[in-house]
Amino acid sequence: MANTNQQGTTSLQLLLAWGFVGIPLTLGVLQTLINAMKLFQ
């Protein structure tokens, strides 16, 4: 029963779902990276 039909989930839904978790995570990682750069100063 291989699922070849991928029309149920739209690209927009995927974008929203990944953005929902990806944006805060990216912001947090960037903030940490900025702080981590103090090691090299």
Give the footprint of other proteins on this chain (CB under 8 A).
Answer: 1-9, 13-14, 17-18, 20-22, 24-25, 27-29, 31-33, 35-41
Closest approach of other proteins to the CB of residue 15, in Å = 10
Question: Locate tokens 């149920």: which residue?
Answer: 8
Closest approach of other proteins to the CB of residue 16, in Å = 9
Closest approach of other proteins to the CB of residue 33, in Å = 7
Question: Locate tokens 């029963």: which residue?
Answer: 1
Under DSSP, the state recorded for 38 is G
Q: How many CA within 13 A on the CB side of residue 6?
A: 5
